[in-house]
Each structure stands twice: as C-alpha cells, then as structure tokens.
Structure 1
C-alpha cells in the first residue's frame, strides 16, 4: 500500500476570545483531565516544558468506550496562526495507523481540528470517533473559559 496521508476536519464554534482558547491548549491542556474526566483519565509530562515544541506527554483517555493511551509530542507551535500540531509517537492509535497527527487552529469564533493519518492497511477505517471527541472538547473548554 502506498504511503497516503488522509485527513478529517472538525470545526466547532467558540464564544471565548481566540487567544484565550489557543493559550489553553498551548499552556493548560493538562486541565482537560479536570474539565472532561469522562474522556481524559490521566496526563503526564515525559519530556520538555509545557507550551514548547518538543514537549512530550502520555495521555490516557477513553474513545468509543475503550480506555487507550498515547504518547504525544508537540511538533509545531505557530502563535501568529494560533495553530498547534500534536504528533502521536506511540500508543494504541498506532495499532491502526502508521502515523497520526492532530492540528488545532483557532480563529475568532471558531476552532478547527485537522486529523492527519496514514492507515496501516487498506481495511483500516478512518478515525471518525475522534470527530465527536474533539467537538466535545471544544465545547467544554469554551464553556470553562467563559466562566474562568
């Protein structure tokens, strides 16, 4: 099978300021464990510093009712574009995909997640379960930031 990277895109409206929303994911993303405990059960910084390129974390989360983990590296931070790219280095998602990245791009009134993935086999389904997850994350973080 040729190396082909596919993408899924999810966009969610946000009411809080774009800078505040972007900075949450850049500097305070570990708070997801408190904001969304039904999905995020743990996070641990393994390398680097929060909010910097190269920071590596191990996330424990639940997707489709299944507890999984992923070691994720911040690959790109573009403050001007309010964009962050996270690359999965190891974990359960890589049992299905050769590569898996998620990029968050924030603008006034909108947050967009672009999930880039390379299937392990032609029969591997796209990671569509991540779409409702990222939409729910955006909704809960937006609500949290509006009152905090």
Structure 2
C-alpha cells in the first residue's frame, strides 16, 4: 500500500460560482455560520488579510464525532481558474499524515451547474493510516451546506 495519495471528488451546486470562490478565498470565517454542523470557527492566525498567499488560518471543525483543529497556509491562488491551494501545517490531520494539501477549484458558467472540485494530495505517516475518504465526504457535505445557505438568501 502506497503512503502517497491523491483523492479528487466533484460536487455540482446551484450557487453562483463567483460568490462561492469569494467565500472560500476572502470569507472562510463565514463558513462557520453557513455550515455550523461541521465548521465551528475559522480564524486568521497570521497574515494581514484573508485570501493572501502566505496567510495562515486555523479551522476548528467537527469530524468523526470529535472536535478537531487544522492550521493551514494558503500556498497558491489562481483567480482566473478560481482555485486555491492550502498546505496543512498543524493540527489533528498531521497526527496521521506527514503532508496534506487541499485544493479547491470552482468551475463556473454563471449561476447554474457550478462544479466544485476538492483535491487532496497527502502522504500517510504509515501504512495503517486510512485514506481520507471520510474527510472528503466532510468537505462535500460542507460545500452542500454552503450552497443551501446561499440559496436561502
């Protein structure tokens, strides 16, 4: 069993893709209000403003029946392709993974049939660590919660 892995899943949402990308980039701290079942808080830990490369944010979230923390550094932003890449640099995920990168890509043609793609690049600490399937399901569920919140407005 390989220690390195890539996992990618897509979800189609009916929200405006530009708004969704703007939330992921500049307003991730609002996700706690949009998906309170999963996200308990998001704080700008280091950096002058949200969405700038090099900024560090801390997520407090509920996953697999436990409250967890992830500290992430924004590694890359591509406004044209509407994608963000975060490197996990601290927290609970690093108890199982040596490295963990999270990329979100919003593919949009307006307000209908927006596709959000989540990709994980990871290296497990050892062969007994499971693939991050439940974490991927968590991200997809959180995305649906955001969609539901945006459609209410």
- Any unmatched runs of 5+ in structure 1? none
Structure 1 length-normalised TM: 0.92
Give aligned pairs, total.
147
Q: CA deviation at 1:94?
A: 0.3
* SS in structure 1 at match of 2:59: strand
Cα contact 1:73–1:86 (8 A) shared by 2: yes
- Take 2:91 and 2:64, find their aligned partners in 1: how far apart are those partners? 16
Structure 2 length-normalised TM: 0.90
Which residue in the other structure is 1:25 paired with?
A: 24
- Take 1:39 and 1:5, find their aligned partners in 2: how far apart are those partners? 26
Which residue in the other structure is 2:15 paired with?
A: 16
- Please list every run of at least 4 consecutive aligned residues from structure 1 whose deviation after the TM superposition is greater than 6 angstroms: none
* SS in structure 1 at match of 2:138: helix
Which residue in the other structure is 1:113 paired with?
A: 118
**Per-residue deviation, residues 107-128 of structure 1 (Å, max 9, x unmatched):** 1220000011100001211111
**Per-residue deviation, residues 29-55 of structure 1 (Å, max 9, x unmatched):** 111111111211122211111011111
- Take 1:16 and 1:10, find their aligned partners in 2: how far apart are those partners? 18
Residue 128 (structure 1) aligned with residue 133 (structure 2): yes
- Take 1:120 and 1:112, find their aligned partners in 2: how far apart are those partners? 25
Cα contact 2:38–2:142 (8 A) shared by 1: no
- Take 2:46 and 2:89, find their aligned partners in 1: how far apart are those partners? 13
- Any unmatched runs of 5+ in structure 2? 109-113
**Per-residue deviation, residues 54-103 of structure 1 (Å, max 9, x unmatched):** 11011111111111111111111100110001110011110100001110
Residue 7 (structure 1) aligned with residue 12 (structure 2): no
Task: Pick one of 130, 138, 149 that aligns with 1:144.
Answer: 149
Cα contact 1:10–1:134 (8 A) shared by 2: no
RMSD of the alignment, in Å? 1.6
